Structure 1
């Protein structure tokens, strides 16, 4: 007699890899859209004769949109389903990317970047929850963390595309910004064939449909779980109740302190390299592309270590290393160091920064139950983008007023605060089921119950 296995006990297979690339495609586009504006702004600013305030508004518009997209999109993902939102946000990607080619003033671009931000913000909770709810227990952290790799692939690709498109002349920025429609359309067509999340269906009382999808994908003898409470109502405020408030605070803080300095540096990296003395020719753009591609190196050990040694150390120590490296960059910024030296420091910073970024989609998905999982990821996305939008708006003003050294010190300070908060608050969830991780820190939990919690919706 064949043993009945649950969804989380299934070995890693072809379907999981397909799901990884379809969900990670959203992260690719997210990174691409953020990266391409960094190159486009450098070409666009002289043409429109924009002030630093207007430049900052264009850069921050997407992050403001991500706040609304994350908050609303995450809740809708839990309310109406993963797949429906999975397709809607990609349609918005396509429809908002193309008009960027035709903008005639900065206000139009600000509006379109805001709309794109809404779509990106919505895609984060959709993609992350989708992957988490299909992932095998033993590889869940690596798969969720690995999704961030595609963000950096998209970010790096945007600089290579932007660097190549510089040869198109004064309108090259139009082609750069509109080019995001291409990967978005390809991904939209691929996502059409993906199934709904069985865990979401079960949480809405549709356990029969959920098991039908599982058996259709993995075959007979595979079920959702041993026991499951169904028809769980989705409520936005549940994130702050029943012991989840602590995790909501933790996620909002560590995520914000990661992306606020990182996104600001990423958006203005050509200008930053220019401040280090590398503004001649196209060296600052080529350097940006090289750096972003090397950032992927940080993900390789991180996705392995997060399952080998745990979640906590892979979050805590990269925060500290990122802070230290930026302090060194600030100190050496006036020493006229070589291009190779400066790029090497930025690469080290990027490697460690990338390694801790994998937690942006691991912790929110593991610490909350299915009924509010998308809502929690969306909330983390939204709140963190407030920090990202403010830092992106203020970054050029601080840079022009106080110089590159002070700017690096400010970014380092945010990373150091993140180190302290994570050291105190970060839980360990390695090798636990979603039911176990979402039961951590609940008032009803008894000592030792984390490893054998009362059965509930996962």
Structure 2
């Protein structure tokens, strides 16, 4: 049978696509793991290294600052070097810098190692994301992108489970092994990615059509060729100024605001889950059990949201997600002296209800910008939201000490209400529109 007229956008999923999903989603697993593992060991290493609350905040926020730098670097590198080479940068950085934490002697050294790990994570976003989107048939792109958010939270849950197991050994320097544990994921990720081909779309954009054709034949079968790759307009480089002036400024504002407001409370709660639960008088087994339970509820929230995204629509989902999760945070502020069960129920409710805004972080910016600015807009959204998250994370230990847990929760609720206002005013509806229609400004 001739495949001359079958676009590779419409082929059925094959083994290569499934393997590529595993190879790329490893980056998100790593991200969830490294950003959460710091909270698990915070109390121990803080005491061992004699950190002030300023340095506690700096160490917790360091990876987020690194992600901000790495996000821009990853976009630039994947334009220059392709997707394939930078695909290995993240795993190498994770391995080397995680292992180095076994010998760390100061808050400053820990800050710089975590900063470098953050750069590795930041590189993953544009590089692993581009590879996945550029090979994935169009029908599966949305669900696969939403799935990466779920993988992130699974990585976070794994961090709490592994971290608490290592701490429970009671070894005096157990926290060092907790912080070094991501090295294992780094080496596995490196090995799994060996053999990944370069993106044919990138090769074509560099005029290397013979190599692009060879990759297509290898991935899709010998009857496929460049003729099966849909014609693409050559992507013109676009500056931030041109993006804002072309009428997409309002959308960039929406993506930056909604993304920031959906991650600031999550990262702040996450980096300090044990500390926050302790401040809410949940100590002992509640602390470790609570962290894992809440993480798994984030996963549940993301799975529910992924299931109903096409039923409810994007706009309704982001508005409801912010409204109800903000009310859960308000209740946490009001009931900060409540019973352990009440606190866990409210934390759990927040975790499930914010799922809608979480999965839309990768769906919205990929849908509402045209091809030539899509990667740039996603990178901008990710980087800007991480600045907000870094500030929020840095502020949590200081806020817990100065204004107390109740007011800290009220502040997190206020951030969520800003996200709600931005969504009501600015969120477009893109359900049932094609990518072209969703990205055009006049629907």
Deviation at 1:425, TM superposition (A): 2.1
CA offsets, 1:341-387, max 9 Å, x none?
32122112111223321122222333345554433322222111110
Counterpart residue number, 2:416: 415
Deviation at 1:43, TM superposition (A): 0.9
Please, which runs of 5 or more residues in structure 2 have no aligned partner? none
Deviation at 1:324, TM superposition (A): 0.8
Say if 1:198 and 1:224, in contact at 8 Å, map to a contact too: no
Distance, in Å, in 1 between the alignment partners of 2:9 and 2:166 is 45
TM-score by length of 2: 0.92
Is residue 2:266 matched to residue 1:265?
Answer: no
Say if 2:63 and 2:116, in contact at 8 Å, map to a contact too: yes
Is residue 2:440 matched to residue 1:440?
Answer: yes
Deviation at 1:208, TM superposition (A): 5.3
Is residue 2:268 matched to residue 1:301?
Answer: no
Counterpart residue number, 1:427: 428
TM-score by length of 1: 0.89
Deviation at 1:36, TM superposition (A): 0.6
Q: Which moved more, 1:186-195 or 1:30-39?
A: 186-195
Q: 2:177 aligns with which of 175, 178, 191?
A: 175
CA shift in 2, pair 1:89/1:433, >3 Å: farther
Say if 2:60 and 2:393, in contact at 8 Å, map to a contact too: yes
Distance, in Å, in 2 between the alignment partners of 1:363 and 1:77 is 22
Is residue 2:100 matched to residue 1:99?
Answer: yes
Is residue 2:53 matched to residue 1:49?
Answer: no
Is residue 2:81 matched to residue 1:80?
Answer: yes
CA offsets, 1:174-217, max 9 Å, x none?
00111101111111111122222233334444455445433422
Report matched runs for 1:54-453 at 5 Å.
Answer: 54-166=55-167, 167-206=169-208, 209-219=211-221, 220-221=223-224, 224-230=228-234, 232-237=235-240, 239-240=243-244, 242-279=246-283, 281-334=284-337, 336-337=338-339, 339-430=340-431, 432=433, 434-437=435-438, 439-441=439-441
Partner-residue secondary structure (3-state), 1:286:
helix
Deviation at 1:150, TM superposition (A): 0.9
Deviation at 1:135, TM superposition (A): 2.6
Say if 1:326 and 1:412, in contact at 8 Å, map to a contact too: yes
Say if 1:125 and 1:378, in contact at 8 Å, map to a contact too: yes
CA shift in 2, pair 1:17/1:266, >3 Å: same
Distance, in Å, in 1 between the alignment partners of 2:201 and 2:428 is 24
CA shift in 2, pair 1:244/1:127, >3 Å: farther
Deviation at 1:153, TM superposition (A): 0.7
Say if 1:31 and 1:151, in contact at 8 Å, map to a contact too: yes
Distance, in Å, in 1 between the alignment partners of 2:214 and 2:7 is 13
CA shift in 2, pair 1:423/1:6, >3 Å: farther
Distance, in Å, in 2 between the alignment partners of 1:215 and 1:247 is 38
Please, which runs of 5 or more residues in structure 1 have no aligned partner? 442-446, 449-458
Distance, in Å, in 2 between the alignment partners of 1:208 and 1:432 is 35
CA shift in 2, pair 1:434/1:82, >3 Å: farther
Partner-residue secondary structure (3-state), 2:354:
helix
Say if 1:74 and 1:378, in contact at 8 Å, map to a contact too: yes
Say if 1:70 and 1:124, in contact at 8 Å, map to a contact too: yes
Q: Which moved more, 1:426-435 or 1:73-82?
A: 426-435
Deviation at 1:138, TM superposition (A): 2.7
Say if 1:78 and 1:371, in contact at 8 Å, map to a contact too: no
Q: CA RMSD in A?
A: 2.2
Say if 1:200 and 1:370, in contact at 8 Å, map to a contact too: no
Distance, in Å, in 2 between the alignment partners of 1:244 and 1:205 is 30
Partner-residue secondary structure (3-state), 2:281:
coil
Deviation at 1:94, TM superposition (A): 1.4
Say if 1:128 and 1:361, in contact at 8 Å, map to a contact too: no
Deviation at 1:171, TM superposition (A): 0.6
Distance, in Å, in 2 between the alignment partners of 1:221 and 1:308 is 36
CA shift in 2, pair 1:426/1:127, >3 Å: farther
Deviation at 1:394, TM superposition (A): 0.9
CA shift in 2, pair 1:109/1:226, >3 Å: closer
Partner-residue secondary structure (3-state), 1:5:
coil
Partner-residue secondary structure (3-state), 1:81:
coil
Counterpart residue number, 1:453: none
Deviation at 1:259, TM superposition (A): 1.1
Say if 1:78 and 1:375, in contact at 8 Å, map to a contact too: no
CA offsets, 1:98-146, max 9 Å, x none?
1011101111001101111111112112222222222332332211010
Deviation at 1:35, TM superposition (A): 1.0
CA shift in 2, pair 1:53/1:71, >3 Å: same
